[in-house]
A and B are shown apart, each in its own frame.
Chain A
């Protein structure tokens, strides 16, 4: 089944004004169910815009987007995806547990059920002991993990992530990458993952989509075939070969 299908999408900001910008030009993208796809490219290549279009946070100027066989708008209405941004964006007046409960609350889940589910998600990201804390009491990395737990709480078939590990240090980053992969393996969710980091894209993805700016477009799609995704992969020749080919594609 197709998780995301983007066909001939163009996005123009401030159309008809002197500050008109073509953020995306004629973009096609397919993400299969359970597939992990990374979008990589320099700043201004429209990778975040593409993610926001899939999330229906902004409408395309032309072209069509379907999510789980539905239009992007009705997929959003049915909460077919979970989303995590670069900034954790937690609600400071809610405890960690109640932040994770938020999407469940909006779905009308009963108090007891959502409490259990949120606790389960916090255990998954290793923050079970911090359920009662407020976001201001946590470090940046911990806040980001709460945001990921929140995105996963509704067990969405699709996960949209906009540089979720961008603000983290290398060690935390690698640990969260491994956690994310095991979570995806458990839930079978498809992922669209925006990143600046070549090694991150290669380690996580089945497919790395390379984009270039002005106007934003897809210049290459590189399939990643690695035997497994444990720490030994990070030293394997195949891993480095793929990194090299992504780097070459980025240089154009």
Chain B
């Protein structure tokens, strides 16, 4: 409840800042020695909040369906792609982490490439992945693969840390019970890794959204919110509020994904609730 209030407070602060800057900012932006240091504050660059919101209710094109339904449909399409990418990325990340925990040689050999994978520019990779679309998987799945490519990384790294988190005391206790690697994994390492896994999943969720939006754009996939942002941006000079409706949709999509991921956490982290210590 309090967290919700804080979130709303943060949103209000942002809106005030936006409208406040529009009020005092130079419509042509502030230029210092030929460089623009503050953005333009005119209605074309920064439409009023209420203009954007009211634009949501108006038809996309004359006689078409209202913008909000178009944005919502695009968001749901991208949400599907994101979900597929998130799940695939998480599974791959978990498997990699377990393999790296099990075999030191895999960790030594693989971890540098896992890190390297994230420094390859996505725009260079996207056409390659898109090229496989329609052959070994349907075209929309290419975008999921890109989302998964971004999402697996935080899971692999976070989960590896989590699996390695139990101290010698726990590991030796399991050894004294004659528990092998698998049972030590299930009874000790997996439960101990949860506090590391959940923040990693939240990062993976955000990365999957970014991957899906960017992936749609760079593979030219139609129907999603990433594509919609580009389409509306073309009309930015005549209809500036429209592009902000699509961006708003993308932002809300990110929040929804983050919210869904943190829901996973609730049932599994009961023991972490703040509790009083009984002394006897």
A87 to B187, CA, bound (A): 19
Smallest CB separation, B6 vs chain A (Å): 26
Given contacts A89-B169, A89-B170, A91-B170, contact A55 B279 (CB under 8 A): no
Given contacts A91-B191, A106-B183, A139-B278, contact A79 B177 (CB under 8 A): yes
A141 to B170, CA, bound (A): 19
Tally chain B residues at the interface, Cβ within 8 Å.
23
Binds A, one of B37-45, B80-88, B133-141, B269-277: B269-277
A78 to B278, CA, bound (A): 36
Residue B251 lies at the interface, judged by CB distance under 8 Å to chain A: no
A106 contacts across to B, CB distance below 8 A: 177-179, 183, 187
A105 to B187, CA, bound (A): 10
Residue of B176, B271, B276 with most chain A CB atoms under a 10 A cut-off: B176
A87 contacts across to B, CB distance below 8 A: 169
Interface residue tally on A, bucketed by range: 20 to 34
Residue A240 lies at the interface, judged by CB distance under 8 Å to chain B: no
Smallest CB separation, B173 vs chain A (Å): 6
CB contacts under 8 Å to B, within A95-127, are 102-103, 105-106
Smallest CB separation, B109 vs chain A (Å): 26
Residue B116 lies at the interface, judged by CB distance under 8 Å to chain A: no
Contact B275 A83 (CB under 8 A): no
Residue of A89, A93, A136, A137 with most chain B CB atoms under a 10 A cut-off: A93
A83 to B183, CA, bound (A): 19
Partner of A142, one of B169, B170, B187, B280: B280
Residue A220 lies at the interface, judged by CB distance under 8 Å to chain B: no
A233 contacts across to B, CB distance below 8 A: none
Given contacts A55-B176, A78-B178, A85-B169, contact A137 B187 (CB under 8 A): no
Smallest CB separation, A66 vs chain B (Å): 17
Residue A76 lies at the interface, judged by CB distance under 8 Å to chain B: yes
CB contacts under 8 Å to B, within A138-152, are 138-139, 141-142
Q: List 7 A-B contacts (CB under 8 A).
A: A83-B176, A85-B172, A93-B191, A102-B187, A134-B275, A137-B275, A141-B280
Which 7 pairs show the lowest CB-CB distances between chains A and B?
A89-B169, A139-B279, A134-B271, A93-B191, A77-B178, A106-B177, A83-B176
Q: Could you tell me which A residues sit within 8 Å of B by CB distance?
A: 55, 57, 76-79, 81, 83, 85, 87, 89, 91-94, 102-103, 105-106, 130, 133-134, 136-139, 141-142
